[in-house]
Amino acid sequence: MRECPESASTRTEETREARFSRRGLLRTSLASVAGTFLPSAYDLNGARTMAQPRESASPDGPSTYESFVERARALAAEAYRPAPEDLPQELAALDYDAYQRIAFRPEKTIPLGQRFSLQPFHRGFLQRKRVDVVLQASDGTGRRLDYDSSLFDLGPALQGRSFPRSLGYAGFRLNTGFDTAKPNAQEEFLVFLGASYFRLRGRGQTYGLSARGVAVNTFGPGSEEFPDFTAFRILEPSGNETTITILALLDGQSLSGAYRFVVTPGEIAHIAVTASLHPRREIARLGLAPLTSMFLHGQNGAGARGAEAFDDFRPQVHDSDGLAVETEGDRLWRPLVNGRASTAISAFEATPLRGFGLLQRDRNFADYLDVQARHEDRPGLWVRPEAGNAAFGSGAVQLFEIPSREEYTDNIVAAFVPSTKPVPGRAIDLAYGLTTVGAEPTPLLSSAPARVVSTRVGSAERLRPTNPPNPQRRLYVIDFEGDGLPADPKAQVDVALSASAGAFVDPFTERVPQTGGWRLYAEYRPPNPLPAGDVVLRARLSHAGKVITETWDAVA
């Protein structure tokens, strides 16, 4: 897999402005679902006996994915009209704490079939925009969810207040009974809130990274845009159905779009995504199937050259620790990095793309030591294009790493960026799967070479001491685990190593009997002077003429 020339490039003041607008948006989205980091659970029996929320008949008639596509195409033919931010002053003036005090009443949960239910999010603070939510029964009848203040405990700042039905909602969460024997014991597993962001988890996992409908001009050229999901049509499941379908309309300055999400919760949660995007104008950088996550520090510290260390009792703090990219005959693993002076963009050519994902490979409590955050239970998300999907043809998976020292903001973005730029009036049709995973999406991969499980860096002087020690000699220790590794500790394992600047010296490998894996040791000697950007390092192992590991790809 070839790394594109854009790797490790940086942006200017425009990038910093985009970064702060992004963080403001993410901060409010994450804050609004703060209670969902450890998902709530309740018995739906109580909700079934309560009066239904305010609803009104939908004038649109039955909706299908095809009708949403036509709506998106018609929108794209018109000038963009942003939704009015008609938020009452009392809600717009709420601060973070007051908004957090607004809580949905669990007994008011809205049943959807026998296995699902819904809870809307209140508007207020930075969640200013209204989304149209319609529940569509199996006979095509639509019921629009109108605002109802009785669904919420509004907190002391809004005590006694009520708002008109037209206020609507900012988004919603879906709940399900993971245990088929206890369908009424429900937990939330999917959240749509803020722009085109949504979050998914499997059973036993906590919320971590987010997915998005689309990314537009993420870190230039041009100003980044955040199109919104403006309308949802939720197709109510019949009886005991275990999947639920959501139709969504997206609109923004540069494009509109229609989405169909067929959602299957479970131990592993899966969404089959179908989308049709309709550009209004040229888009310099269009990101498909984007993922957004947080990486503060990990096994090798912040990871960037000269980065300031974190004064933290926890050995690691992140929702994802690396990017995996699978192409025909190769899979690459890039450990995430923090602490650069400015945002870095790395691009990995992926033609054709088999899949990519931001993963959380460290799955043990001892890796994090955070009792409340439970980083070890955060899911990875794996994007797998449907076979033959032209939108995932020629292009690259691009990784955006934003320097951050704030745990509550996302600073990592990964998306597939097609080589061909969008053309106004020409639809882009997408079809892909989005799946929650633990350490490894093995059932979803075309092949399963041994994976990188850890990357550690330290002084090479420990093995060859000098006086005074030479700080330029760095020892990289890379552990591989998985099927296909030789069990014989005397086996001949070949090493392929490369560095875009400087050189590796004296590599050697050994079997790790405690894990059954293999470890690679290699001393890296950087050039003098160092180049301005990142130095790209790569390694993989072979045995008996066959590649047996994924490609380790890191920066120095």
Total Cβ atoms within 10 A of residue 183:
17
How far, in Å, CA of 489 to CA of 337, rounded?
Answer: 33
Contact indicator for 60, 228 with CB cutoff of 8 Å = no
**Of the ranges 46-50, 53-57, 224-228, the best mean pLDDT one:** 224-228
Angle at 151 between CA 145 and CA 154, to 5 degrees: 125
User: Cis (ω within 30 of 0) for the bond into 468?
Assistant: yes
What residue ranges do the domains of the chain occupy? 9-444, 451-555
Q: Which residue stretches of 61-212 are H helix?
A: 65-76, 89-92, 96-100
- In this predicted structure, the answer to whether residue 105 has a pLDDT above a threshold of 50 is yes
The number of angstroms, rounded, from the C-alpha of 337 to the middle of its chain's C-alpha atoms is 16
What pLDDT, on the 0 to 100 scale, is given for residue 532?
A: 87
- In this predicted structure, the answer to whether residue 17 has a pLDDT above a threshold of 70 is no
Q: How would residue 21 be classed by pLDDT, with cut points 50, 70 and 90?
A: very low
Closest CA to 330 of 555, 552, 5: 552
User: Which DSSP state fits 67?
Assistant: H
How far, in Å, CA of 29 to CA of 192, rounded?
Answer: 9
Q: What is the pLDDT of residues 336-381, one digit of tens each?
A: 999 999 999 999 999 999 999 999 999 999 999 999 999 999 999 9
Least confident range from 61-65, 151-155, 217-221: namely 217-221
Contact indicator for 153, 167 with CB cutoff of 8 Å = no
- With 0-12 CB in 10 A as exposed, 13-18 as middle and 19+ as buried, what is 160? exposed
Angle at 170 between CA 164 and CA 174, to 5 degrees: 115
- In this predicted structure, the answer to whether residue 166 has a pLDDT above a threshold of 50 is yes
Of the two residues 245 and 82, the one the predictor is more confident about is 245
SS (H, E, C) 265-329: CCCCCEEEEEEEEEECCCCCCEEEEEEEECEEEECCECECCCCCCCCCCCCCEECCCEEEEEECC
Helix (H, G, I), strand (E, B) or coil at 21: helix
What's the pTM value of the predicted model, to 2 decimals?
Answer: 0.91
Of the two residues 176 and 41, the one the predictor is more confident about is 176
- With 0-12 CB in 10 A as exposed, 13-18 as middle and 19+ as buried, what is 341? exposed
Closest CA to 63 of 150, 3, 134, 14: 134
- In this predicted structure, the answer to whether residue 164 has a pLDDT above a threshold of 70 is yes
The number of angstroms, rounded, from the C-alpha of 287 to the middle of its chain's C-alpha atoms is 13
Q: What is the mean predicted confidence (pLDDT) over 54-60?
A: 66
CATH homologous superfamily for the domain 451-555: Immunoglobulins (2.60.40.10)
Q: What is the mean pLDDT of the chain?
A: 89
Structure tokens at 175: 């709940």
Q: How would residue 251 be classed by pLDDT, with cut points 50, 70 and 90?
A: very high
- In this predicted structure, the answer to whether residue 9 has a pLDDT above a threshold of 70 is no
Total Cβ atoms within 10 A of residue 301:
17
Structure tokens at 173: 């969460």
User: Cis (ω within 30 of 0) for the bond into 352?
Assistant: yes
Closest CA to 127 of 162, 158, 160, 83: 83
Q: How would residue 467 be classed by pLDDT, with cut points 50, 70 and 90?
A: confident
Q: What is the mean predicted confidence (pLDDT) over 51-79?
A: 84
Helix (H, G, I), strand (E, B) or coil at 169: strand
What pLDDT, on the 0 to 100 scale, is given for residue 278?
A: 98
Q: Does domain 9-444 have CATH number 1.10.10.10?
A: no
What pLDDT, on the 0 to 100 scale, is given for residue 11?
A: 33
What pLDDT, on the 0 to 100 scale, is given for residue 533?
A: 87
Q: What is the pLDDT of residues 304-343, one digit of tens each?
A: 888 888 999 999 999 999 999 999 889 999 999 999 999 9
Contact indicator for 267, 202 with CB cutoff of 8 Å = yes
- In this predicted structure, the answer to whether residue 281 has a pLDDT above a threshold of 60 is yes
